[in-house]
Each structure stands twice: as structure tokens, then as C-alpha cells.
Amino acid sequence: MVLSGDILIDIFSVLIAIFVIAIVFFKRRYSHWKNLGVEYLEPTIPFGNYKPSYFQAKSIAEIWTEFYDAMKAKTAKHAGWYFFHLAVYVPMDLDLIKSIMQTDFAHFTDHLGYVNEKDDPLSATVFSLEGQRWRNLRMKLTPTFTSGKMKLMFPIMIKLSEELIETLRKECGNSPIDAKDISARFTTDVIGNCAFGIDCNSLRDPNTEFRIKGKRVFSLTPVEMLSNFLSFLFPNAMKFFGVRLFPKEATDFFLKVIKDTADYRQTNNIRRNDAFQLLLDMLNNEGKETDNTLTFSELAAQAFVFFIAGFETSSTLMSFALIELSLNEDVQNRLRDEINEVLRKNNGELTYEALSEMRYMDMVISETLRKYPPLPTLSRVCTKDYQVPNSEIQLRIGDGVMILVRGIHYDPDIYPDPHKFDPTRFSEEKKSKRHQFAFLPFGEGPRICLGKKFLLTCVVYDALFFLGLRFGLMQAKVGLASLIKNFKFKYNPRTPYPIKCDPKSFLTSAQGGLWMDVQKIDSE
């Protein structure tokens, strides 16, 4: 190649050319929604509308809620969002959301996600898989996690809830307690027992390896956060370079635990009433795929997702519920009265049936999930060209769709005074007057959690992506019932209120912890 006399000028010219091409590319991309006549906010090259969250000035929950409010002010039925170079469709109207998530589900069967089975086998979860592979796996798992089989694990929860009470009795006193820490230690022990058959002892020792590796799954380094970020933008390129979704030392640990547990049970012919046994019963030892078996890789991925569902979702739900109860003494007292009344009718025992009688508990949990949905948004991918109803907009295969859950949950036209914690919003009468898709803490439609049938016995929860959600909600109710019966919780000013979402987390997570003062009831 012949260069001009000054190499620096040549290099500078190339850089200028690349810069100009990039500007032209983004300018063209950023005219997409304008050309379609769809409302949008002016994007910033190259971040689109994502800049505040990328630099962690705001959490993803905040910027999506602000976007929802801006589009709602324009009375938009749908809107457009720019995620770097990607144009994402945002339905605003609840009937339109219902069309996408339920009525016309065949056009939106997949989530926005990243799967790299070769380098990161635990990424191939029931949430992340696409198309026919997702359908096949879901058909295998759906009949397995029934209410009756979940009930078999209930005694494990009760035993560990007793340890939770004893631990908190020892730790409460003059110092405030971090609700997230104590909740996560409880859910780690329950999930460790039920998903892996391991006594984790996190309540007794917060620094056990299982607890540390569990936290590591969600505690990403800046490099890992960047690689995860790029995985969603350029999935094919990231697969080529072998990028992993989860930290290697954490997934290696869980893979070893899963393999060792499976080998031990099969070699010694040991059976337990836990979730791992349900998956193990489906393992195809001969490696021949059938309708009723799992491969080992599938088993490992689902056991892992069962863990992260039951661990993170439940501990987050418990901790946010506790902090709101500490701020709302009247709600806490009413819940305690219900718990004590139900227990009196059941000979003082917290049974599976007793738990389902706690209607106000269900209302408290629903209101907590409204204010603090685990995921502030839900994603879909257009898998078949789709004509948006009552519009001239056509979505193409591969187009991303984002449902703004937190924005809907904080819409004052749906939930008056949305920042107020008010469980009575979820009385049967008030629920019956709201749109079915006005409450979406775990999604809706066919691509829902495997736990919907169980939850119909209390409040109708619709699904997230995690197969362990049904179990996670059950253990959250056990944990809350045990704690509220035995302790009084009071707000500690160490917790800033209103609660700020952590800008480093894609899940709804509090920044700086959730601190409370705890008082033993039996000490009065």
C-alpha cells in the first residue's frame, strides 16, 4: 500500500473517515422512529437513549420510568427507544401490550438474551433459549414442577425458617440489620438445600463458599459488565470470541456442585424431596433425547436458574417488603394479626395450607412487587413479521420490543398515589377493576413462569423467566410469616427513603442496603 509522505496525516485521514461514516450511520439509524411517525426522545450518539444508565448516573429502572412518563404525557400508544444502534419498539397501551404478550404471542416467542452453550453452558436456561428449543424444554419442565411436588419441599423451608428466627434473635439488638443480607442468607440456605441438596449454613456463617459464589453471580467486575453489555448488542460476535454471561469461577463452582450431587445420588441410590431430584429424574443417562428427559447440560442450566431465581428474587422481595413494613406500622400490625390468627386456627403450625389462607400477606407481596418489580422491563423479540394493530407500523423479524413494567406500575392513572405503599390496591374488588396487564412483575402470556397454577391459590402472579419463581415466592412468604410473627421492624434512617435503585444492577436492587431496627416480640 502506498502512503502519502506523512504517515500521521494518512492515519488522521482514516480516523476522520471512520468518524464521519459512524456519524452518518447513527444519523440514519436515529431517523427510524421519526420516519415511522412514532414518538421518541432525542438520542445521543452513540448511546441512543441509554447514556445516563451507561455512565451509571441513573439506574435502568429510573431512565425507563422517565421515558414512560414522557411518552405518557404525549398520550402515545407506542413509542420508540434507541439502545445504541438498535431501534426498540415500546408499546404503551395495555391492550397493545396484551396483543404482543398474549394474543399475538406467535410473533414474539423469544426474549432479548444471550446464550453461549459452548463456553458458558449455564446460560442455556428456560428463559434464554429461543424458538423450538424453548418450547421443547418448557414442555419437559411444566408437568414436573407441580404444586404437589413443590409441597414436598415445604418442610425444608420450615426448618430453615426456624434457623432464621434464631439467627435474627442473636443478631438484633442495638445495631441495625440489613434486610437484604439476612433475607439472602435465608434464601441461599433454602435454595442450597432444595436445588442442590446441600446444607449451606449461610445463616450461621455469612461467608460460606455457597453464599460467596451466589453473590458473585450478580457482582460483576467492570470488564464483565462491559462484555455482558456487548453480548446483547453483538451476540454473534461475542459468541465467536467465547464471551461468557456469568463469571467463570461462579459457574465452575455450580457445575461441580451439580455434577458431584448427581453422581453421588445416582451412585448411592439416594432420593430426596427437592427440586434437584425432580430434575435428576428427567436426566437421560443414555444421552438419547426424548420428550421426557433432560440432557446433563439442560439439567445443570435449569438447576442453576432455579438457584438464581429462588435466591435473588425471593431475597429482594423479602427485603423490600420488610423495609416497607418498617415504614408502615399499621400495615405491619395488620399482617401480624393475620399471621397469628391463621396460626391459631392451625394449632400454631405454619403449614402449606395455612400459608394459602393468608390473603393480606398476598396483598402485601403484590404491592411490594408493584413498587419493586424484579425486572423494571420485559423484553421480547419479533420472530415473525407483525403488523401493529390500528397502525401503519410493521415490526420485522429481529426487532426488539420492551415493555416498561415499572412505568406501568407507577402510572397514577392506574395506581393513584403510586409512591404510597398500599396493599389494599390488591383486594379482589380493586383487582377486578384493573386491566389484566396493569400488573406485570413477572410478565404475562404463554412465556410465563412455570409457577402460575400454584399462585392461583393466592394472588394470580404471572410469570417471570425463571422456573424457580413459584418456589421463590413460597419461601418468601414462609420467611416473612416467620419474621413478622416474632419481631417488630422499625425504619432506620441509614436507609435513604425514597429508596434509590442501584445503577450497577439490571435487577431492581437498593443502593446502600436496606437497614432496619429489629425488636424481639417475646422480649416485651
Annotated binding site for heme: 449
Q: Which residue has 406500575 as its cell numbers? A: 409
Q: What is the DSSP letter of 415?
A: S
Helix, strand, coil shares, percent, the chain, to 5 = 55, 10, 40
Q: Which helix (H) or strand (E) holds 334?
A: helix 329-345
Question: What is the arrangement of strands in the sheet containing 39-40, beginning at the earlier edge strand?
Answer: 39-40, 78-83, 86-91, 400-403, 378-381
**Residue 82's beta-bridge partner residues?**
87
Q: What is the DSSP letter of 488?
A: E
8 Å CB contact between 153 and 274: yes
What sign results for the dihedral spanned by CA atoms 258, 259, 262, 267?
negative
8 Å CB contact between 483 and 165: yes
Q: Which residue has 432496619 as its cell numbers? A: 516
In the chain, the amino acid numbered 479 is G
131-141 vs 296-308: helix axis angle to the nearest 10? 80
| Cell numbers found for residue 453 | 397454577
Instruction: List the Cα angle 408/414/418 in 5-degree steps.
Output: 75
Residue 294 and residue 524: Cα distance in Å, rounded?
53
| Cell numbers found for residue 415 | 395506581
| Cell numbers found for residue 496 | 435513604
8 Å CB contact between 49 and 90: no
Strands 378-381 and 78-83: unpaired
Specify the 3-state DSSP secondary structure of 115.
coil
Looking at beta carbons, which pairs linking 243-247 to residues 24 or more positions away fall under 8 Å? 243/116, 243/119, 244/116, 244/119, 244/120, 244/123, 245/114, 245/115, 245/116, 245/120, 245/123, 246/120, 246/122, 246/123, 246/217, 247/216, 247/217, 247/220, 247/221
What sign results for the dihedral spanned by CA atoms 144, 460, 71, 103?
positive
C-alpha of 279 from chain center: 22
Closest C-alpha among 303, 253, 312 to residue 505: 312
Strands 177-178 and 515-520: antiparallel
Residue 200 and residue 193: Cα distance in Å, rounded?
7
| Cell numbers found for residue 89 | 419498539
Mark the binding-site residues, compressed into ranges: 449
Residue 88 and residue 41: Cα distance in Å, rounded?
12
